[in-house]
Amino acid sequence: MLTKWPSDPLSIARHGNGDPITVATLEWCLDRLAYAMHRAPQGGEVYLPIFERLESDLAALRAKEAMLERARARAARFMRQNSIKP
Contact yes or no for 56/9 (Cβ under 8 A): yes
Evaluate whether residue 86 is within a structural domain.
Answer: no
Evaluate whether residue 62 is within a structural domain.
Answer: yes
Query: How many domains does the chain fold into?
Result: 1
Give the pLDDT of the chain (86 residues) as one tens digit per residue. 444 555 555 455 556 677 889 999 999 999 999 999 999 998 899 999 999 999 999 999 999 999 999 999 999 999 999 999 88
User: What's the pLDDT at 19?
Assistant: 82
Report how far apart, in Å, the C-alpha atoms of 4 and of each of 7, 21, 75 are.
Answer: 9, 15, 37
Evaluate whether residue 2 is within a structural domain.
Answer: no
| Residue 34 structural domain | 9-81
Evaluate whether residue 4 is within a structural domain.
Answer: no
Grouping H, G, I as helix, E, B as strand and the rest as coil, residue 14 is strand
- What is the spatial distance between Cα 84 and Cα 35, in angstroms, rounded to a whole number? 51
Written as one string, the DSSP assignment of 47-78 is GHHHHHHHHHHHHHHHHHHHHHHHHHHHHHHH
